[in-house]
Structures are given as C-alpha cells and as structure tokens.
Amino acid sequence: MAIDAPRDRRAAAPARPVRAAFALAAAAALCGCVVGPDFQRPDAAPPPAWEAVSAPVPPAAEMSGLASRPVARAFDGRRWWSVFADPALDRLVDEAVRQNLDLQTAALRIEEARAQLVAAKSEGEPALSGDAVAGRQRMSENGIAGALGAGGAQPAPSPYGDLYQIGFDATWELDLWGKARRVVEAERAGVESAEQARGDAQISLTAEVARTYLALRGYQRQRAIAAADVDDQRRLLRLTQSRSANGFAAEADAVAQQAQLSSALAQLPPIDRSITQAANRLALLLALPPGALNDRLGPEPAAAAAPLPPEVPVGLPGDLLRRRPDVMKSEAELRAATAKVGQAKAQLFPSIELGGFGGLQATHANDLGDWASRFWIGGLQVSIPIFEGGKLKAQIRTADAQMREAALGYRSTVLQAVHDANGAIDAYAQEQRHASALARQADDARRSRDLMRERWRSGFASLVDVLGVERQLRQTDRQALQSAVAAQTDLVALYKALGGDWGAPDPGTAAH
C-alpha cells in the first residue's frame, strides 16, 4: 500500500488539466451567449411619394422641374452648391468646410468616440501588468515575529528585513453573457452617431454659407437698383424744379418730388446694413474676423445670377432614411440604447474572472535569479449578485425606457425629415410660380418702357413720363430680384432637407 498510493496520486494528476480544459471549453461555449434585445429599426416608413410634387408646375423656360423618382447618385450632393455656377461661392464653401470651428469640434468628437470604442474593446481582452518591489520593512516585535522568540528556545528574529520582488499579474473576465460585446456594440454605434453628427453639421454649414452668400448678392443687386432709382429721382427733381421755375409746374410738384427723392435715399441705409451683416455672417462661418471678406466679395456681384438648374431630382421620401445624417444619427443612437439594455441585463448573471500572479521574490537582491525564488498564484473568481437592493433591475428598467425613448426619437426624426423635405419642395414650387408671374410682369413693364421711349422720341411724351415708366420698371425688377433670391434660398433649403450625399469622399475635410 505504501508503494501503490503514490502511483495512484500520479495517475490522478493528469486529470486536473483535463478538467481545467473542459471547464475552459464550457466557459468558451457560454461566451457565445448574448443577453438582451437585438437592434431592429422601428416602423417609421415615410409616405411613398411627395405631396408637393403632385401639384403641377406651370411650364416656363426659366423654371425648374421637380423629379420625383428613386435617386441614388443622381446629383453630386457633396457639392450641390455648384448648381449656382459661382466660383466665389465654391471657394467660400471649401474654406468654410476647412476652417469652421463647429465642424472641427464635430470632427474631434468623432476622434473621442473612436477612442472610447478602442477602450471598450480592451475590456473583453486579457490584461497583463508587471510590477517590481525593492524595499526595507520592519515587523512588529509584539506581533508574530516577537511571538516566535517568546519561548526562549531560539532568539527572536530581527524585526528588520529586505524584500525584492518582480512579478506579473494577468486577469481575464470571461464574456459569458455578452456584456463586453454589448459595450462594444454601443460604442460602435456612438462612433456612427458622431460621424453622422458631423455630416449633419457639414450640410447645415454649407447650406448656411450658400444662403448667406446668395442673400448678400441679392442685397448688392438690390442696392444697385435702389441707387439707379435715386439717380432717376434726382433727374426728375431737376426737371420739376426747372419747370416750376419757368412756370410750367407748381412749386408743390417740386416739393413732392423732393419727398420722393428723400424716400429713395432712405432705402439705401437698410440695404447697406443688410450687406454688412451678411458679409460678417459669412466671415463668422469661415472663422474670420468681421470685415475680412469685404475686399473679396466686392461692392457688387461681378456677374448676373446663374439660372436655376433645369431639374431638381428630389427622389422619393424613402431616400431620406439613407441620405439625411440626422435620421442615420438617430438610428445609431437607437442602436446604442438597444445594446445598453443587454449590457444592463448581463449584470444579473454571474461573472467569472481568470487570474494569475507570479514572479520572483527574495530577501536578497542576489537571490532573485535563483529558480527557488519563483512563486505563482492562479485560479478563478466567481461573482454572483445575490442582493443589490433592486439596483440592477432598476438599471434594466432605465435602459429599457431609454431604448423606447430613442425609438420614439427616431420616428420623430423621420417624420420631421419628411415634413422638412415636403415643405421645402412646396416652397420651391410656389416660388417658381411667383417668379413666373413676376417674369411676365417684368416683360410687360419693359415693353411699356420701350413704347414710352418711342413716344418721347416722337414728341408725344415728356421725359418725366419716360422716367416714371422706368421707375415702375425698377420696382418690378426689385420684386423679381427678391423672388429670384427667395427661389435660390428655397433651393438651398431643398438640398439641405434632402440631405445630400455628404458621405462621399470629401477633399475639404475639416482640419484641426
């Protein structure tokens, strides 16, 4: 029996690695389990067609159509502002994308989200750390060291001693219920949300630059019309004063004409203020000080406004789900909220952490290299939540409520996007009708002016009559200009509402 007993122990020893391997295999199989709901996009289907497109637009050479058909890459939404054929606008938008502070902030948020994703991925991986200790210690003489020498059989050991240690610590928490994977899923959705937020900010920025620039050019053209009206009023005043001095008109006519001139002059300061405000607004969008763009923009536009595009492919309402960044951002937020529900539920289940610590330890530094100085500790730790006072279940209810809130937010965002796009389509179509009517009115006014000039050359009309007709023509041109600017800004709002194609490779990425 004395010989067989050691043989039995040696035979039983290999069973320990087998059992450990079996336990690890079982744990690895459990790591495939993931608790909590999987992401599903809520039922927030937009209508099959736009309501505003169904209204017919009267045909005219100067009007644009609205094509409602599926659109994937029908136009370069990344540079949609190129439809205005204005190189100055192109340069301003490119500089704004590079220099705008809000866009750079959004780019930094993407970096933050990506760093958080890397940190989340590391939570499910084994961790290894090393440490080294070299020091001197003193033990209590009234403690264990003093008790060892209290019997008098041997002298009490010295309370002073040295300790040298080099070790490594390894831990790994098994992801049995998918908690770490849910964390990674939520952080990955956070990266998507940050990227879509930057896309939304870029679309808003480009739209604001285009709208402000077009308004500025409209103010400059409006000022040119107002200045021409002032010149006409001065000419009429000189004629009226001359006729009054020669007895062909009453003095009251000259006073009335002076009032008309004062009224025309009073229109210039508000226009100048609008020009200054628009230029400063552009400078702010480009992260420049006030007045920095005055020389570049000039006192008036170098060329006439380009005609609107012959067709605007608005696509179908369903295209907004993959083209508007705010919709995709809301979807990413819902995906993150759904993953956090599984993360909270995984807290209810036991957690297993494998760990080990080993190294070299000695009381003399020269002994650290001896094989006898080695030590190690290995094992696993199981943590089971028994009583948490309802905290874990409350966290699950909180995560579930946040998930349902994010689902409602997604549906609300889709609905708002559909309303924005439909309203922009309707506004653009209505302004087209307005512009068509004003274009016909301007044509009639020009024919009236030409006829009056012929009558003046023939001696059947006075110069006062000619200047009066030209003034009416300028008022019509002012209204047509306002309508043209409104149509341009409505087109900007339409492109913004459609979402564009901001996800395409963009050379003008914000630098920081």
With contact defined as beta carbons under 8 Å apart, do 64 and 365 qualify? no
137-150 mean pLDDT: 66
215-224 mean pLDDT: 90
Task: Determine the pLDDT at residue 48.
Answer: 73
| Confidence at 128, pLDDT banded by 50, 70, 90 | confident
Six-digit token string for 446: 């020009």
Contacts 24+ apart (CB under 8 A), 382-387: 382/350, 382/351, 382/352, 383/350, 383/351, 383/352, 383/353, 384/350, 385/347, 385/348, 385/350
Six-digit token string for 498: 């459609």
446-466 mean pLDDT: 79
Answer yes or no: is pLDDT of 329 > 60: yes
Paired residues of 376 in beta bridges:
358
CA nearest to 113, candidates 325, 323, 328, 336: 336
Paired residues of 375 in beta bridges:
359
Answer yes or no: is pLDDT of 404 > 50: yes
Six-digit token string for 84: 């205005």
CA nearest to 402, candidates 347, 335, 349: 335
| Confidence at 402, pLDDT banded by 50, 70, 90 | very high
| Confidence at 126, pLDDT banded by 50, 70, 90 | confident
182-204 mean pLDDT: 92
Task: Determine the pLDDT at residue 363.
Answer: 83
pTM of the model: 0.77
Answer yes or no: is pLDDT of 29 > 70: no
Six-digit token string for 31: 């790591």
316-328 mean pLDDT: 83
Task: Determine the pLDDT at residue 10.
Answer: 41
A 10 A CB-CB count for 435 gives: 21
157-182 mean pLDDT: 84
Task: Determine the pLDDT at residue 51.
Answer: 72
| Confidence at 163, pLDDT banded by 50, 70, 90 | confident
Answer yes or no: is pLDDT of 245 > 70: yes
Instruction: Classify residue 268 as exposed, middle or buried by CB count within 10 Å of its CB (0-12, 13-18, 19+).
Output: middle
- Higher-confidence residue of 4 and 199: namely 199
User: Quick check: helix, strand or coil at residue 137?
Assistant: strand
- Higher-confidence residue of 63 and 171: namely 171
408-436 mean pLDDT: 89
Name the average pLDDT for the chain: 79
262-279 mean pLDDT: 91
- Higher-confidence residue of 318 and 210: namely 210
- Among 36-50, 345-359, 372-386, 437-451, the range scoring the smallest mean pLDDT is 36-50
Answer yes or no: is pLDDT of 436 > 70: yes
Rounded distance between C-alpha atoms, residue 421 and residue 409, angstroms = 18
Six-digit token string for 47: 């209508």
Answer yes or no: is pLDDT of 144 > 70: no
With contact defined as beta carbons under 8 Å apart, do 444 and 473 qualify? no
Task: Determine the pLDDT at residue 1.
Answer: 34
Task: Determine the pLDDT at residue 19.
Answer: 54
| Confidence at 30, pLDDT banded by 50, 70, 90 | low
Rounded distance between C-alpha atoms, residue 185 and residue 335, angstroms = 8
Rounded distance between C-alpha atoms, residue 449 and residue 456, angstroms = 10
Answer yes or no: is pLDDT of 306 > 60: yes
Answer yes or no: is pLDDT of 55 > 90: no
Ranked by mean pLDDT, which of 244-253, 354-363, 398-407, 474-483 comes out on top? 398-407
- Higher-confidence residue of 115 and 457: namely 115
Which DSSP string do the residues of 415-468 spell out, in sequence order? HHHHHHHHHHHHHHHHHHHHHHHHHHHHHHHHHHHHHHHHHHHHTSS-HHHHHH
Answer yes or no: is pLDDT of 367 > 50: yes
Task: Determine the pLDDT at residue 303.
Answer: 61
Answer yes or no: is pLDDT of 379 > 90: no
441-467 mean pLDDT: 80
Task: Determine the pLDDT at residue 45.
Answer: 73
274-298 mean pLDDT: 91
Task: Determine the pLDDT at residue 429.
Answer: 85
| Confidence at 304, pLDDT banded by 50, 70, 90 | low
With contact defined as beta carbons under 8 Å apart, do 428 and 308 qualify? no
